[in-house]
Amino acid sequence: MNSDAITGSIGAELLLVEESLNKAGTPRPRRHAELIVQTALELDRTAIYLNARKILSTENRSKINELLKRRLEGEPIQYIAGWAPFFGRRFHVYEGVFIPRFDTELLIERFLGHYNQLPDTNEITRVLDLCCGSGAIGLTIAAEAPRAQVTLVDISTAALECTSINAKSIGVQDSTQLVNWDTLTDPPENWTHQFDFIVANPPYIHVEEVAQLHPDVQREPHTALTDGGDGLKFYRHWVKILPKLLVPGGRLITEIGFNEGQDVSRIISKSFDAVKVFEDLNGLPRVVEGKLS
């Protein structure tokens, strides 16, 4: 888009929003500007450019300015837009729900690598997703793995409500079930040896590191970011309770912090064999796997 955009048009407003975000030091100001204009006008990205010369109404300009104000005040763009991308799909998110990240897609890839090596039968693959948040991991697995039945759990009712919305949006509500469970407590008794895979993305940030996070991230629920301690509390508890939930040969695949590879591997190795750490595209430790004997 050039600098001679028509005054008062969608194109001119897009440039003004981008300029404001750029001055504020917002990362990727053009993309954030596009999302703000898209959301306010209820148009997709292509449409805002096809209609760039269209003159905005006062009402629509006010909507754009309100969303811009929220972004300049530090609200994550995903909350403003109402969705976040993950593994090629849109996941509904809102304040109070953890925002899925691109780095977590490695966990999906690791699961699918094992799933695709399973015998090609009609037998159900049972998956448990711990600390599911918006449901990005478990619902993606349900969508990508047609024989999977996925149980998604979270302590947060807001997260489970969001997951329910996403399950219906993606069309996997029939192959998923949601359970409100604090995974730092004992699991339901009838879950003994019920799962082939357990996948998880627990709160793993050290409590002393939370204040150093980007201001956008600090707007997310802190209970989804940190365990209130050294970031290893969930792994220490899970290594005690998760083996009883898996069938023999079952696998645990969990996300970790970039500096937790050795610590989490040591903890997981107490109950699992063949423990391995896998790096993300940035070369940072991101996923730990273990197999139950």
pTM for the full model? 0.94
CA pair distance 136, 243, nearest whole angstrom: 24
Q: pLDDT at position 5, please?
A: 66
pLDDT, one tens digit per residue, over 7-46 is 899 999 999 999 999 999 999 999 999 999 999 999 999 9
pLDDT score of 4 more than 60: no
Contact criterion met (CB below 8 Å) for 290 and 254: no
Q: pLDDT at position 29, please?
A: 97
pLDDT band at 238 (very low <50, low <70, confident <90, very high): very high
| CA nearest to 263, candidates 275, 246, 249, 251 | 275
pLDDT band at 201 (very low <50, low <70, confident <90, very high): very high
Average pLDDT over residues 220-244: 97
CA pair distance 140, 265, nearest whole angstrom: 25
pLDDT score of 69 more than 70: yes
Q: Which two tokens stand for residue 71?
A: 């972004």
| CA nearest to 70, candidates 16, 149, 118, 17 | 17
Contact criterion met (CB below 8 Å) for 162 and 92: yes
Interacting residues of 92 by C-beta distance below 8 A, sequence separation 6+: 82, 83, 134, 162, 165, 166, 169
CA pair distance 279, 152, nearest whole angstrom: 25
Q: pLDDT at position 3, please?
A: 46
CA pair distance 197, 222, nearest whole angstrom: 27
Q: pLDDT at position 208, please?
A: 96
pLDDT, one tens digit per residue, over 74-105 is 999 999 999 999 999 999 999 999 999 999 99
CA pair distance 22, 51, nearest whole angstrom: 23
Q: pLDDT at position 166, please?
A: 98
Q: Is 293 exposed, middle or buried (0-12, 13-18, 19+ CB in 10 A)?
A: exposed
Average pLDDT over residues 135-158: 97
Alpha-carbon dihedral 119, 123, 128, 134, rounded to 10 degrees: 90
Average pLDDT over residues 253-281: 97
Average pLDDT over residues 138-163: 97
